[in-house]
Amino acid sequence: MASAGDKPALRIATVNVNGIRAAYKRGMAEWLADREIDILCLQEVRAPDAIVRDLLGDEWHILHAEAEAKGRAGVAIASRTEPVAVREHIGEDYFALSGRWVEADFKVPVEGEEKILTVVSAYVHSGEVGTPKQDDKYRFLDVMAARLPVLAATSDYALIVGDLNVGHTTLDIKNWKGNVKRAGFLPEERAYFDRFFSDEIGYVDVARKLAGEVAGPYTWWSWRGQAFDNDAGWRIDYHMATPGLAERAVSAVVDRAETYDARFSDHAPVVVDYQF
């Protein structure tokens, strides 16, 4: 178990690796070795299952959904303890082979009882205005909006993490004024997140709750130009938790690399400790 203060906590991390093989060549293994993570959620894995298992190693229980399109998407959940149940797609046949959603149920101890924690690793489409890619993004968000209440109703705690490819508010994008007509910050996309984090669906944006109303902290920066050096980023990687779980979040950290050259992905991991 990880530690939060002097009490045990469950440490859950999410990161879009932008190709796990490339990430390992750039130093992902060194980051992972020192982080004492209990549950690791990955997006844009873009590798065959055998390679994923070889890179992560035998110490992890691995749930991995490859995309039908080779070299695209792919999501995974790697955990130190074995899940009690797993589901490999979001529940609609249209997205069954898209490699964008996996669910795993874990037993967690709460006040002498065993409760069920459902963890989802999700990779929402990036989209492109006026194209079928954007249509697929809205369709996926529609299915998410239906799935989230089901998870909240059937698990003691539910957590959706991953690259959700939408900046919710103006605090989540450094240069938001120039992006209001671009996929990732469209009003129609942001309205879904209004619903996710409202009383209607009822999830909590954990990193925002802990950080407060501040710019960022951003989780993605373009490889191009000076975006990383100038911290001109987007906050599009989330921990979305049911309220009871969000109350147990004691820290949220974006593991931003110290320098551009030290990055193993164009995304940075979001690491949250949950106190049980």
**pLDDT band with cut points at 50, 70 and 90 for residue 73:** very high
* 267: annotated active-site residue: yes
Sign for the pseudo-dihedral over CA of 168, 169, 171, 174: positive
In this predicted structure, the answer to whether residue 3 has a pLDDT above a threshold of 70 is no
**Buried b / exposed e along 266-275 (16+ C-beta atoms within 10 A):** bbbbbbbbbe
Residue of 123, 203, 218, 274 marked active site:
123
pLDDT tens for each residue of 11-22: 999 999 999 999
In this predicted structure, the answer to whether residue 5 has a pLDDT above a threshold of 50 is no
Cβ(215)–Cβ(176) below 8 Å:
no
Q: What residues form the annotated binding site? A: 16, 44, 163, 165, 266-267
In this predicted structure, the answer to whether residue 227 has a pLDDT above a threshold of 80 is yes
pLDDT of residue 39: 98
Residue of 136, 163, 205, 273 marked active site:
163
**pLDDT band with cut points at 50, 70 and 90 for residue 4:** very low
pLDDT tens for each residue of 104-150: 999 999 999 999 999 999 999 999 999 999 999 999 999 999 999 99
* 274: annotated active-site residue: no
Residue of 89, 267, 273, 274 marked active site:
267
Angle at alpha carbon of residue 79, lines to 78 and 84, rounded to 5°: 110
pLDDT of residue 6: 47
Q: Which two tokens stand for residue 185?
A: 């910050």
HEC letters along the chain: CEEECCEEEEEEEEEECCCHHHHHHCCHHHHHHCCCCCEEEEECCCCCHHHHHHHHCCCCEEEEECCCCCCCCCEEEEECCCCCEEECCCCCHHHCCCCCEEEEEEEEEECCEEEEEEEEEEECCCCCCCCHHHHHHHHHHHHHHHHHHHHHHHCCEEEEEEECCCCCCHHHECCHHHHCCCCCCCHHHHHHHHHHCCCCCCCEEHHHHHHCCCCCCCCECCCCCCCCCCCCCECCEEEEECHHHHCCEEEEEECCCCCHHHCCCCECCEEEEEEC
**Model pTM?**
0.96
pLDDT of residue 255: 98
pLDDT tens for each residue of 141-183: 999 999 999 999 999 999 999 999 999 999 999 999 999 999 9
pLDDT > 90 fraction of the chain, expressed in percent and rounded: 95
Section 10-37 average pLDDT? 97
In this predicted structure, the answer to whether residue 7 has a pLDDT above a threshold of 90 is no
Q: Which two tokens stand for residue 193?
A: 């997140």
Cβ(263)–Cβ(255) below 8 Å:
no
* 34: annotated active-site residue: no
Q: What are phi and psi of 119, to 5 degrees?
A: -115, 135
Q: What residues form the annotated binding site for Mg(2+)? A: 16, 44, 163, 165, 266-267
On average, the pLDDT of the chain sits at: 96
Section 24-28 average pLDDT? 98
